[in-house]
C-alpha cells in the first residue's frame, strides 16, 4: 500500500506502509522513503449474554426451578445477575420467593476484560474470583454481583464468566450455573 502527499493521508483499515514524500522543484513530490504504520484498533465490543436453565429435580429437592442468568461488560462496570423462578402447583413459573425459601443464593464472576487506556490502546484487566451472597432473609427472586470498573470497558472474548447457584430450604444440595451446569461465558 503506497500513498503520496504532504501530509500523507491514508485510510486506516489495517497495517502497512506509506510513502513519505518531499516536494521538489520540477515534480510535485518525490518519494524519499516508506514509513510503517499500524492502525489503532478498537478495543472490542461491549456486550451482554443471557442464558436460561431449568432443573426438574433442583439439587435433589424434587422441585422444578429455572434460573435466567445474565453477564455483561459496559463502561463503568462488569457484572452478572440471575432471576430465579419456581413452578407453582398449576404449572406457572413464579418468582422463586413467592413459592420457596432458600438457604443460600450466590452470584460470582471471574476472568478478564479489556479497558481502553487511550484511544485504541487497551490493556487486559484480570478479575479474580468474586462472589456475593444474598443476605439471609432477603427475597430470593433475583440476585446480582456488580463490580465497579471505571473507564471504557470491552469484552475479552471467552475470558469472563459467571456462576449462579442456590439451595432450597426444602432440602437438597446447591445447584446452578457453575455447579451442575456450565458457567455463563461472555463471548
- Are 100 and 35 found together in one domain? no
Q: What is the span of the domain harbouring residue 164?
A: 47-186
Domain identity same for 84 and 162: yes
- The answer to whether residues 60 and 172 touch, using CB atoms and an 8 Å cutoff, is yes
Which tens digits make up the pLDDT trace of 20-69?
555 555 555 555 666 655 444 578 899 999 999 999 999 999 999 999 99
Distance in angstroms (rounded) separating the CA atoms of residues 74 and 149: 9
Structurally, how many domains does the chain consist of?
A: 2
Q: 112 and 21, same structural domain?
A: no
Q: Are residues 147 and 91 in the same domain?
A: yes
Q: Measuring CA to CA, which residue among 7, 63, 20, 56 is closest to residue 181? A: 56
pLDDT at position 82 is 98
**Other C-beta atoms lying within 10 Å of the C-beta of residue 60:** 12
Whether 16 and 56 share a structural domain: no
Whether residue 33 sits in one domain with residue 5: yes
93 and 170 fall within a common domain: yes
Is 85 in the same domain as 133? yes
pLDDT digits (tens, 9 = 90+) for 134-179: 998 899 999 999 999 999 999 999 999 999 999 999 989 999 999 9
List residues bridging with 79 in a β-sheet.
Answer: 72, 146
Kindly report the number of other CB atoms within 10 A of residue 152's CB atom. 16
Distance between CA atoms of residues 5 and 170, nearest Å? 76
pLDDT band at 119 (very low <50, low <70, confident <90, very high): confident
Co-location of 29 and 69 in the same domain: no
Indicate if 157 and 180 belong to the same structural domain. Answer: yes
Three cell numbers written together for 57 = 429435580
Domain identity same for 75 and 113: yes
Please indicate, yes or no, whether residues 81 and 54 belong to a single structural domain of this protein: yes
pLDDT in tens, 66-103: 999 999 999 999 999 999 999 999 999 999 999 999 99
Amino acid at each position: 500500500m503506497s500513498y503520496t502527499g504532504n501530509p500523507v493521508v491514508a485510510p486506516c483499515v489495517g497495517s502497512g506502509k506509506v510513502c513519505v514524500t518531499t516536494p521538489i522543484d520540477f515534480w510535485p513530490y518525490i518519494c524519499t522513503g516508506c514509513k510503517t504504520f499500524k492502525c489503532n484498533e478498537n478495543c472490542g465490543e461491549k456486550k451482554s449474554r443471557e442464558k436460561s436453565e431449568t432443573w426438574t429435580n433442583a439439587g435433589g429437592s424434587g422441585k422444578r426451578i429455572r434460573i435466567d442468568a445474565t453477564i455483561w461488560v459496559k463502561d463503568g462496570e462488569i457484572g452478572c445477575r440471575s432471576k430465579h423462578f419456581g413452578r407453582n402447583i398449576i404449572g406457572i413459573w413464579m418468582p422463586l420467593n413467592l413459592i420457596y425459601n432458600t438457604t443460600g443464593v450466590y452470584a460470582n464472576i471471574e476472568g478478564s476484560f479489556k479497558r481502553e487506556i487511550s484511544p485504541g490502546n487497551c490493556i487486559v484487566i484480570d478479575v479474580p474470583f468474586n462472589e456475593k451472597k444474598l443476605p439471609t432473609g432477603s427475597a430470593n427472586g433475583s440476585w446480582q454481583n456488580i463490580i465497579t470498573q471505571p473507564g471504557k470497558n470491552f469484552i475479552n472474548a471467552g475470558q469472563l464468566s459467571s456462576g449462579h447457584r442456590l439451595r432450597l430450604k426444602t432440602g437438597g444440595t446447591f445447584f446452578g450455573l457453575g455447579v451442575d451446569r456450565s458457567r455463563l461465558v461472555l463471548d
